[in-house]
Structures are given as structure tokens and as C-alpha cells.
């Protein structure tokens, strides 16, 4: 138990050290790190807007151009952390928050609990960490990896932003991983028929199996669909996307609730306590 407590303390220290390096309008900012009577507290920005994906389904109007604006902000945050040689490793909807409930509030990247520090473009095996549907092929192959894993996750997120469901999906986790490793996704009709070729092109460059050929955050920010969205991205309301995204949100919330119930049940059974024994990666 003592070693687990030490491990958890070191994990929080690493997260605090990483967060101190990051100061960007699209990243939840760390204000303080406090150790007191054996407890460790991280004090972050108060963000009150909730999750980005939950906000989208509550909107009366949502277009491809809106999706472009969202991924633009996400890429800005990823580019910032990569410039500071940080890899997030757990980019997913749950970690994309809104600064406030005001219309047009900034998207904020949160939760650096799995983040690691790397040396430039270093590729190494840093361990298996992340959330199943957003894991990159190189992580699943247990190959050396680095910053490109975050871009792969951005590609998955962008795909969902455009049609409301993920590019890789199977109830069987082994089959899901096989899909990801093969890069087996497509743009099925009719929902993708109304998405511009430029948007599909960016997804293809993000979901490139070979990490060495995958687009970088800086390059993605210069992609026409991102930097020229007013003239390139469609302004048509995507009602079907909103409806699919609402179902997607419900499914992932249910999975999260089931995982939490399992952990709390184990906690009360006395087999182990919820903290600090939580694994350092959680599959939700």
C-alpha cells in the first residue's frame, strides 16, 4: 500500500510538472500544487461550460464549419504541448471542455494524467496507455511512439465531430484493435456525401498508419479546411450528425458509469480502495 501511495504521489508530481510548462488559452491552466498532511492537490482553472460534445448536441445549429472551428482550437492546444515536448496520450471527448456556458466559449484541453515528456521527435516505448477507440496503431503494435499518437486521436475526434460516430467501432475489443492497426475506416453514404473533400483529406492525413508520414499539429493548422474554413468548410446544418452524436454521448456516459460502479463496488468490498489504486490508464 505504501508503494502504491508513493507511486500515486509521483504520478501527480509529474502531472503538475508538465502542467506548469503549459500556458495557452485552449488548455486548462494549473494555478497551484499543494501537499498537505499526506494529500496532494492540483488547483486548475474553473471551467464551467461542460464537455464540448455535450454542448454541440444542445445547439440549434451545427455545421462542418463549426467542426472546423472546434478542431482548430484542439490542434492549437496540441501544437502548444508538442512545442513543449509533451505528449498527452489521452485525447478524447471527455478531456475537451468549454471555458464557460457562453456562446463561442473557448475549447480547453484537460487531464494530463497520462501525459509524458519526450525529447524532441523522440520515439520510444513509453508503455500502453490511453482509451481504446483513440489508441494509435503504433501503440497497439507496442512500437516506439511519440507526438504522432496525439494526432491520430485528433483524427478520430474530427471524424466524430463531422458525423457523430467513431471511425473504428466494435464491441469486441480485439476486433476494434485489429481495425485500428489496419487503418480500416471509410466514409460511408449518405452521411459523408455532404462532407467536403477537404475535410476528408485532413482526416486521411491524421489517420495515416505510418506515424512518420502522419501530419503534424503545426501542418494541420495550416490545412485549408482549418485555416480557411469560412471559404472551404460547408455551412450546412448537420442535423443527422447532432442526432448521432447524442446517441454516441449516451453510450460513452453509460460505459463510464458502469466502470465507476465497478470501481466503487470493489472499494466497498474491501478488496482495494479507489485511490490510489486506480490504474494509471482507464479504458472508458
Q: Give the catalytic positions in this structure.
A: 90
Cell of 248: 454516441
Residue 52: CB atoms within 10 A of its CB come to 21
Q: Which of 230, 168, 158 is nearest to 200 (CA)?
A: 158
158 within 8 A of 203, measured Cβ to Cβ: yes
Cell of 201: 483529406
Cell of 218: 503545426
The H or E element spanning position 117 is: strand 116-117
202 within 8 A of 225, measured Cβ to Cβ: yes
E strands within the chain? 30-36, 39-44, 86-87, 96-98, 107-109, 116-117
Q: Is the peptide bond between 276 and the residue preceding it cis, with omega within 30 degrees of 0? A: yes
Amino acid at each position: 500500500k505504501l508503494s502504491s501511495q508513493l507511486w500515486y504521489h509521483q504520478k501527480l508530481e509529474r502531472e503538475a510538472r508538465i502542467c506548469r510548462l503549459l500556458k495557452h488559452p485552449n488548455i486548462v491552466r494549473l494555478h497551484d500544487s499543494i501537499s498537505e498532511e499526506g494529500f496532494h492537490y492540483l488547483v486548475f482553472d474553473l471551467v464551467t461550460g461542460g464537455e464540448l460534445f455535450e454542448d454541440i448536441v444542445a445547439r440549434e445549429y451545427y455545421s462542418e464549419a463549426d467542426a472546423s472551428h472546434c478542431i482548430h482550437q484542439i490542434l492549437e492546444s496540441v501544437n502548444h504541448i508538442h512545442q513543449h515536448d509533451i505528449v498527452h496520450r489521452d485525447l478524447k471527448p471527455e478531456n475537451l471542455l468549454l471555458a464557460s456556458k457562453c456562446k463561442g466559449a473557448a475549447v480547453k484541453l484537460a487531464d494530463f494524467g497520462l501525459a509524458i515528456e519526450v525529447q524532441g521527435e523522440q520515439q520510444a516505448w513509453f508503455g500502453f496507455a490511453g482509451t481504446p477507440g483513440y489508441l494509435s496503431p503504433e501503440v497497439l503494435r507496442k512500437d516506439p511512439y511519440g507526438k504522432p499518437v496525439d494526432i491520430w486521436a485528433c483524427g478520430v475526434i474530427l471524424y466524430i465531430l463531422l458525423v457523430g460516430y467513431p471511425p473504428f467501432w466494435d464491441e469486441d475489443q480485439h476486433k476494434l484493435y485489429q481495425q485500428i492497426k489496419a487503418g480500416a475506416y471509410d466514409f460511408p453514404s449518405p452521411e459523408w456525401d455532404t462532407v467536403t473533400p477537404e475535410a476528408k483529406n485532413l482526416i486521411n492525413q491524421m489517420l495515416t498508419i505510418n506515424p512518420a508520414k502522419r501530419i503534424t499539429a503545426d501542418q494541420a493548422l495550416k490545412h485549408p479546411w482549418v485555416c480557411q474554413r469560412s471559404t472551404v468548410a460547408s455551412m450546412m446544418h448537420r442535423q443527422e450528425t447532432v442526432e448521432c452524436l447524442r446517441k454516441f454521448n449516451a453510450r460513452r456516459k453509460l460505459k463510464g458509469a458502469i466502470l465507476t460502479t465497478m470501481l466503487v463496488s470493489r472499494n466497498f468490498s474491501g478488496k482495494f480502495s479507489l485511490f490510489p489504486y486506480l490504474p494509471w490508464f482507464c479504458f472508458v
